[in-house]
A and B are shown apart, each in its own frame.
Chain A
Amino acid sequence: KNEVEQSPQNLTAQEGEFITINCSYSVGISALHWLQQHPGGGIVSLFMLSSGKKKHGRLIATINIQEKHSSLHITASHPRDSAVYICAVPEPIQGAQKLVFGQGTRLTINP
């Protein structure tokens, strides 16, 4: 069973700062998900990546499959980025893929 660890668990920063959230996992995978959840809200998929780097706007995700490590970066952070960020890895189940979630990183961006 894959173990997924995120750091830090909580992060508070000022608007405009560069943010990095880290994720490591114990068993080799082919892809990793980064998800976002606003307080009291549902989950939004930000990225699914299997190698290298992906960028959407101010969000950048990188993955190193050999080192079993991924990072999520936010450039020019904004208070609306305040949310819980979750990394998750797939685990095969009957006909599908179950997500094994990290414990999440609660990000607060102060104006």
Chain B
Amino acid sequence: DAMVIQNPRYQVTQFGKPVTLSCSQTLNHNVMYWYQQKSSQAPKLLFHYYDKDFNNEADTPDNFQSRRPNTSFCFLDIRSPGLGDAAMYLCATSSAGTGLAGWEQFFGPGTRLTVL
């Protein structure tokens, strides 16, 4: 089945130690999104890629970076994780095609990040 896969599902890192989260998709979608979801809060968009074009949300801290080496893969890099970065990180994709179907977002299972 076509899907969005995130690895790892659980990540523990130390304060200040860089960490990379991975997302891959078999849907061949143009758009990939990274959301941050803190406990009991709604997801918050960090950035998205339209093909290779990177688009950062205005309030995303510089500590968060992303790479998309090809259509299938997208990475979230946290350069110096702080305690406040502990959250669920969700990857999503959409086709950006014409019509309503292009707007539907398909989510991965998420990576839960713990910062010690």
Given A96-B96, A99-B45, are A44 and B50 also a contact pair (CB < 8 Å)?
A: no
The contact size tier of chain A is 20 to 34
Identify the interface centre among A30, A48, A99: most chain B CB within 10 Å of its CB. A99
Interchain Cβ contacts within 8 Å, total number = 67
Q: How far is the CB of B33 from chain A (nearest CB, A)?
A: 8
Q: How far is the CB of B112 from chain A (nearest CB, A)?
A: 7
State whether B107 touches A45 (Cβ < 8 A). Answer: yes
Q: In the complex, which of the residues B50, B88, B103, B105 contacts A94, with contact meaning CB atoms closer than 8 Å?
A: B50
Tell whether A98 is near chain B: CB-to-CB under 8 Å: yes
Binding site for B on A (CB under 8 A): 30-31, 33, 35, 40-45, 48, 50, 86, 90, 93-99, 101-104
How far is B94's CA from A45's CA once the two chains are assembled, in angstroms? Answer: 12
State whether B94 touches A41 (Cβ < 8 A). Answer: no
Chain A residues with Cβ below 8 Å from B90 are 42-43
How far is B57's CA from A98's CA once the two chains are assembled, in angstroms? Answer: 10
Chain A residues with Cβ below 8 Å from B33 are 96, 98
Q: How far is the CB of A78 from chain B (nearest CB, A)?
A: 22
State whether A90 touches B107 (Cβ < 8 A). Answer: no
The contact size tier of chain B is 20 to 34
Specify the main secondary structure of chain A where it touches its partner: strand
Given A42-B110, A93-B48, are A103 and B43 also a contact pair (CB < 8 Å)?
A: no
How far is B100's CA from A31's CA once the two chains are assembled, in angstroms? Answer: 7
Scan B19-46; emit 1 where CB is below 8 A from any A CB, else 0: 0000000000011010000000011010
Chain B residues with Cβ below 8 Å from A103 are 42
Enumerate the 9 nearest inter-chain pairs by beta-carbon distance, A residue then B residue, closest first: A95-B50, A42-B109, A101-B42, A42-B110, A43-B107, A96-B31, A94-B55, A97-B103, A48-B104
